[in-house]
Amino acid sequence: MSVRVFLNGQIVPQAEAYISIDDRGFLFADAVYEVIHVYGSHLFAWDLHMIRLTEGMQELGYAPVDLGALKTAAETLVAEAGTPESSVYIQVSRGAQPRAHLFPPAGTPATVLLWVRPLTPFSPQLVQQGVDVITVADDRWTKVWIKTVGLLPNVLAKQAAHERGAFEAIFVRDGMVTEATSANLFIVRQGRLQTAPVTNYILPGITRQVVIELAAAMGLDTELRPFAVETMLHSDEVFLTGTLTEVMPIRRVDGHPIAGVGPLSHRLLAALHDRAGRPAE
C-alpha cells in the first residue's frame, strides 16, 4: 500500500494529496507547523505540541482546527508506518484564496496536513563524540516564538553549517546566543544549566522544557538568562535540544573545542529516552 497522509479531514494516498496553488502557506509562508517525535507508538509530548500549535494559530488569527481528528490521524498513520521511531509533521495554513495580502473572508477553511515519516536514530558514536557547530548572525524576524513555516533564514544557516562540515548553526543576536536553526541550546557551568529565557527571539522548545524538568528531577537548576558567545565557548558543556535532535552534545563551536562532551548531556538524553519509553541501547 502506498504511503498515506492526512489532508483536510481525510486520509488519502500521498500521490492523491493535492494542495491548491493559491494556498497561503505556499504563497506567503502563512502557516504554522509542529514536529512530534514518536517512540514506538508513543506520540511524545503530544499535548504540549498541540498547545504551542494552538497558541501560534491564535496569535495569527486562524480559526481553530479539530485537534482530536489530528490525533486520530497521527495514531492511524503511525500504526501504518510501523517503524520503531517516526516523526509526525503537522502543517496548518490560513487556507487558499486568489493571491491577496489581506486575510481571506471569514469561513475560508484552513489547510490541514499531517504526515508520518520514519526516523533513524542518531548513532551512539555520534552522541558519544558530540557534534560541531558554527555561529551565524540571527537575521530572523522578531516573532520566532511562533512556529511558522517561514524558515528561510534557518534553511540558509543550516546549509552554511553543512558546507563547513558542521551539524548545526547557532544564531547570535547582539552578541548573545539565541538558539540553533532547529533546536534550543544549553550550556553547563559548574554543574548548573543555563539557557536563553523564553522571549519572542526564541522558539519555546518542548524538548527544552522537558529537559529543564528532567534536570530539576536530578537536582539540577536551570538558569533562564541570556549568555554571550564567549561564555558558551568557556562552558563545561554545551548541548542542543529538539524534537529531532533530542539532547545532542556539542564538541566544537567554530572550531573552538568545548571543555567536555557529556557527562550531563548524556545523562539528560538517557532521562529523555526513559521518559519517552524508548528501549535503552
| Residue number with CB closer to ligand PDD (12 or 270) | 270
∠ at Cα 125 (133, 212), nearest 5°? 60
| Residue number with CB closer to ligand PDD (135 or 243) | 243
| Residue number with CB closer to ligand PDD (96 or 203) | 203
Query: What is the rounded CA–CA span in Å between residue 54 and residue 21?
Result: 25
- Residues within window 1-40 making contact with ligand PDD, judged by CB under 6 A: 35
265 binds ligand PDD (CB under 6 A): no
Could you say which of 7, 206, 271, 272 contacts ligand PDD (CB under 6 A)?
206
Verify whether residue 71 is a known catalytic residue. Answer: no
Task: Specify whether the CB–CB gap between 58 and 110 falls below 8 A.
Answer: no
203 binds ligand PDD (CB under 6 A): yes
Rounded least distance, CB 203 to ligand PDD, Å: 4
Could you say which of 179, 247, 248, 250 contacts ligand PDD (CB under 6 A)?
179
Spatial neighbors of 131 by CB under 8 A, at least 6 apart, are 166, 167, 168, 240, 248, 249, 250, 251
Closest to 138 measured CA to CA, from 187, 193, 185: 185
182 binds ligand PDD (CB under 6 A): yes
Could you say which of 43, 90, 169, 183 contacts ligand PDD (CB under 6 A)?
183
- Please identify every residue annotated as catalytic: 147
Residue ranges binding ligand PDD (CB under 6 A)? 35, 154, 179, 182-184, 203, 205-208, 241-244
